Amino acid sequence: EILVVSPARVFLRLCILVQDAAFWLTVSGTLERVALGFAAGAAIGALLSALTAVSGLLYDIFHPIVEIIKATPVASFIILLLVWTGAENVPAITSALIVIPVVWENVSEGIRKTDAGLLEMARVFRFGRVKAILKIYVPCTMPYFTAACASGLGFAWKAGVAAEVLANLPLSIGGQIYDAKIYLDTVNLFAWTAVVVIASVALETALSKAASHIRKKRGGESYGNQYK
């Protein structure tokens, strides 16, 4: 059963894997790398959107860079990073690079679509820059940010695992997939691929529910309380 294996054998292998402590160390290692890259990418993307919104010069500088990142194949990034930096850092950096354009574009759109009436109110009541950001821009762009994070997380997860495969990292899901390919262990290959899919769905579902909870919580605030 090199080319095709039965679902029953894959399920049985999964049951065996989850009973091994090394399995959880492997999954947690991958989660840690992707989470680090995802958080860094989301933060950098949000910061870039704010900076490019207030400075046309910065927009002209960073917009082509972000477009290049979007257009470059993930595999090319991974190979270049393997040349430039240590293999251990490649998954996190790759995940961050995937997330940055998604967050930057969404939050920038949120900033552009901020209610002009709220901005006029801030001017009339002489809101300081910090207060205007916290009370107007952050609430108005939060749905765009959470939507970007929800979609970007799946991309970050898959890109991070792909980076682990090419880097052949020990104690990583990608490393396990690489070993399964080398030894033609198709059952293990399908089992670890199932782990990738299950984890991706679980992470995206959890983040989507958290984002929905945040939107409902903010929607429940009264207008007066929000802009005090």
180 vs 86, higher pLDDT: 180
Does a structural domain hold residue 131? yes
Task: Tell the burial category of 144 from Cβ atoms under 10 Å away from its Cβ (0-12, 13-18, 19+).
Answer: buried
The CATH number of whichever domain residue 190 belongs to comes to: 1.10.3720.10
Say what the pLDDT of residue 1 is: 62
Residue 1 lies in a domain: no
- Reading the block at residue 186, the tokens are 């198709």
98 lies in which domain range?
A: 7-226
Give the list of residues 6+ apart from residue 104 with CB closer than 8 angstroms, or none: 45, 46, 48, 49, 52, 62, 66
Tell me the two tokens of residue 206: 């959890």
Percent share of the chain, pLDDT over 70: 93
Is residue 15 domain-resident?
A: yes
Question: 224 falls in which pLDDT band (50, 70, 90)?
Answer: very low
- Does 2 reside within a domain? no
Asked if residue 188 is part of any domain, the answer here is yes
**Is a pLDDT exceeding 90 seen at residue 227?**
no
The mean pLDDT value of the chain amounts to 87
| Total domain count, the chain | 1
Please report whether residue 159 resides in a domain. Answer: yes
Angle at which helix 74-84 crosses helix 90-112, to 10 degrees, equals 130
With beta carbons less than 8 A apart as the criterion, state whether 38 and 96 touch.
yes
Distance CA 107, CA 112 (A): 9
The tens digit of pLDDT for each residue in 133-173 reads: 777 788 888 888 988 998 899 999 999 999 999 999 989 99
Whether the pLDDT of residue 218 is over 70: the answer is: no
The per-residue pLDDT for 158 is 94
DSSP, residue by residue, 46-71:
HHHHHHHHH-HHHHHHHHHHHHHHHH
At residue 97, does pLDDT exceed 60? yes
Q: Is 157 helix (H, G, I), strand (E, B) or coil?
A: helix
Sorting pLDDT into bands at 50, 70 and 90, what band is 219? low
Average pLDDT over residues 122-128: 76
Task: Please check whether residue 166 lies inside any domain of the structure.
Answer: yes
Question: String of b and e for 76-96 (b: at least 16 CB within 10 Å)?
Answer: ebbeebbeeeebebbbbbbbb
Indicate whether 87 pLDDT > 70. yes
| pLDDT above 90 coverage of the chain, percent | 57
Residue 29 counted as domain residue: yes
Distance CA 214, CA 42 (A): 17
Q: Read off the pLDDT of residues 27-55 as tens digits, 9 standing for 90 and up.
A: 999 999 999 999 999 999 999 998 998 88
Kindly indicate the confidence band of residue 4, based on its pLDDT and cuts at 50, 70 and 90. confident
SS3 132: helix
Taking 3-state DSSP, the helix, strand and coil percentages for the chain, each rounded to the nearest 5, stand at 85, 0, 15
